[in-house]
Amino acid sequence: MVFTGYLIPLLTLSTQALASYTGNLNYRHARLGIDLEKVTARSLSKRDEAPYTPSQLNFTHGVASGDPYADSVILWTRVAPRMQSDESDVTVSGDVPLYNHETERFVEAKGLDPFTTYYYQFNALNEYFNVYGNVVRKDNVDYVVHLGDYIYEYGFDAAEYRTDFDLAASHQHFARIPVWDDHEIANNGYRDGSSGLNNTEYSFLNVGPQVSVDQRKMNAVRAYFEWMPIRQVDMDDGLRIWRSFQMGNLMDLIMLDTRNYNRSITSLEWNDDYIERIQNDTGRSLMGARQENWLYRQLSDSVNRGTTWRVIGSQLRFPRLEQEVDGEVIVNLDSWDGYRANYNRTPKHMYDNNIGNNIMLAGYTHTNWVSDLAWIGEKSYDSAIGEGAVGVEFAGTAVSSEGFGGTISSAEAEAGTYKKNEEMRWTEGYYRGYYELHVKQDEVFRAGENHLARPVAGGEVEAGYFRDGQVKHSNLTLNTETGKWETIGLGKMFLKVEA
């Protein structure tokens, strides 16, 4: 996901900045009481025992920056052993086009010399990380906002991903403002466990790596802070990642953690009957009481400072999503719909305090969504013109992961989903990628209007289900089997809920 704001551009001149360099900021603090002289002496004594010489080390994973403030930014790099052949050996390289969907590749390496050792490897573009490179080559943006599931629970995969050229280029060019989702720690997590792990003896002995929930969470959090250019927000609260950024009087960016921080029990894929019974309990919180109250203060303080826009980054879509399958209404209990009291308190604070110009950003669903922010059932809302809304939400698709579930037609989508969710204006689930958000003082949606302009997108979109106008379906994709440019997959982009 790419966030673009018309703010002060980042300068790339070769001037030097005065910087405070103190090693790994995430694990150094004056109150920790570490004797730095002893640490230095110990490091020197172990230098001769190091498994690698300096010449064998390399910045394999590039550099990255993130969490920019007005006067500072976090810089990141990682050093790793250089795994390559001896310099006396010779290597050859080349590109082989993938003409079709066959998996076998036969390559002839020519011009080789006798009595010479050659090393070879195959590298396939097996994901869609070219998306990150496309941003570098094509777009002029100020910041990249990533809303989670960046590290997918597997450390070795994360290290390999960071060697990808396009992903590395993205980190090198843009300051990133990230927050985690659930998979940085474990699927469908909450404060006492996840869908696959809980604090019981059976779970400890028989599930996964035989660690407790707390130990796994600590390991995952440390890995995230080591790999991502992010500030340690609170030295006394290692799990806190929720934070905010003030960008002049243009906007405040509020980054939430709706997946891990003191979250009440969620759907664990076997306890949905129980979650349905307690989903309206006032004591349930998606983000914990401390973070929830902090959010409300951030919104109010933003208005009091005269800031135009309040942009809220979250993992989960905020608008309700009710889907009807075979006459039964289904909701995702691992989302805001499973925490109805917490959900209701959020728009109530906005309406009661006249807080408008709210923009919510979301990820998680691997699907594109555009909606008004309306408090259905509590405040009047006119779907035709958007009157009664308090803001809008843009939810983005995934960079590489496919969408959930199967596929249904536009007619089935309208009958099963969109007629029940009147604030939803557009959705599309076939394409992968990112979106850009351009922010000016008087326009993302018109300041003070608090809803999407009508007709949305001028009345035309390329793909997906569109409530307000025409779907052009003019996107052309090269069919590598036939060599022809065709409209592919545009009838297969709507999600089907499994009953």
For the chain, give the percent of residues with pLDDT over 70. Answer: 68
Q: Within 13 Å of residue 312, how many CA atoms lie on the same side as its CB?
A: 27
| DSSP H or E segment with residue 272 | helix 272-278
- pLDDT above 60 (res 88): no
Residues 441 and 456: their CA atoms lie apart, in Å, by 20
493: confidence class by pLDDT, cuts 50, 70, 90? very low
Decide: helix, strand or coil at residue 222: helix
Residues contacting residue 365 through CB under 8 Å, at least 6 positions apart: 317, 395, 403, 404
Q: Distance between the two ends of the chain, CA-based, in angstroms?
A: 31
Residues 347 and 32: their CA atoms lie apart, in Å, by 41
Unique residue bearing structure tokens 């089935």: 412
Give the pLDDT confidence score for residue 485 in this predicted structure: 64
Give the pLDDT confidence score for residue 77 in this predicted structure: 79
- As a whole number, mean pLDDT of residues 310-333 equals 86
Mind listing the pLDDT tens digit for each residue in 135-160? 888 778 889 999 999 887 666 677 88
Give the pLDDT confidence score for residue 20 in this predicted structure: 39
Give the pLDDT confidence score for residue 35 in this predicted structure: 54
pTM to 2 decimal places: 0.77
Residue 113 corresponds to which tokens in the numbers above? 């010399």
375: confidence class by pLDDT, cuts 50, 70, 90? very high
Hey, which of 214-228, 229-243, 293-307, 429-443 has the most confident mean pLDDT? 293-307
Give the pLDDT confidence score for residue 10 in this predicted structure: 31
Give the pLDDT confidence score for residue 326 in this predicted structure: 74
- pLDDT above 50 (res 5): no
Average pLDDT value over all residues in the chain? 76
CA 390 vs CA 87, 174, 449: distances in Å = 63, 31, 8
Q: Which neighbouring-strand residues pair with 486?
A: 477
Q: Which of 228-232, 252-256, 292-296, 300-304 has the lowest mean pLDDT?
A: 228-232
- For strands 74-77 and 4-5, give the pairing: unpaired
Diameter of the chain by CA atoms?
81
**Domain annotation for the chain: domains and CATH numbers:** 4-8+131-496 (3.60.21.70)
Give the pLDDT confidence score for residue 232 in this predicted structure: 81
Residue 42 corresponds to which tokens in the numbers above? 């110990």
- pLDDT above 80 (res 162): yes
- As a whole number, mean pLDDT of residues 372-381 equals 93
- For strands 80-81 and 193-194, give the pairing: unpaired
Give the pLDDT confidence score for residue 141 in this predicted structure: 85
Mind listing the pLDDT tens digit for each residue in 10-42? 322 233 334 433 444 444 444 444 455 665 666
412-419 long-range Cβ contacts below 8 angstroms, 24+ apart: 412/494, 412/496, 413/465, 413/494, 414/465, 415/324, 416/323, 416/324, 416/325, 416/497, 417/321, 417/322, 417/323, 417/324, 418/465, 418/467
Mind listing the pLDDT tens digit for each residue in 239-296? 899 999 999 999 999 999 999 999 999 998 889 999 999 999 999 999 999 999 999 9
Type of residue at 215: Q
15-23 long-range Cβ contacts below 8 angstroms, 24+ apart: 19/75
106: confidence class by pLDDT, cuts 50, 70, 90? very low
Residues 146 and 477: their CA atoms lie apart, in Å, by 27
Give the pLDDT confidence score for residue 17 in this predicted structure: 39
- pLDDT above 60 (res 497): no
Give the pLDDT confidence score for residue 495 in this predicted structure: 31
Residues 371 and 318: their CA atoms lie apart, in Å, by 9
Give the pLDDT confidence score for residue 496 in this predicted structure: 29
Q: Which of 6-15, 148-157, 210-219, 440-449 has the lowest mean pLDDT?
A: 6-15
Is 232 or 188 the better-scoring residue by pLDDT?
A: 188
Q: Which of 74-88, 169-183, 354-368 has the lowest mean pLDDT?
A: 74-88
Minimal CA–CA distance to 116: which of 82, 88, 155?
88
The answer to whether 402 and 101 have CB atoms below 8 angstroms apart is no
Residues 464 and 409: their CA atoms lie apart, in Å, by 10
- For strands 358-362 and 470-471, give the pairing: unpaired
b vs e for 24-57, b when ≥16 Cβ sit within 10 Å of the residue's Cβ?
eebeeeeeeeeeeeeeeeeeeeeeeeeeeeeeee
Decide: helix, strand or coil at residue 43: helix
Give the pLDDT confidence score for residue 376 in this predicted structure: 92
Give the pLDDT confidence score for residue 300 in this predicted structure: 98
Is 324 or 64 the better-scoring residue by pLDDT?
A: 64
- As a whole number, mean pLDDT of residues 329-348 equals 92
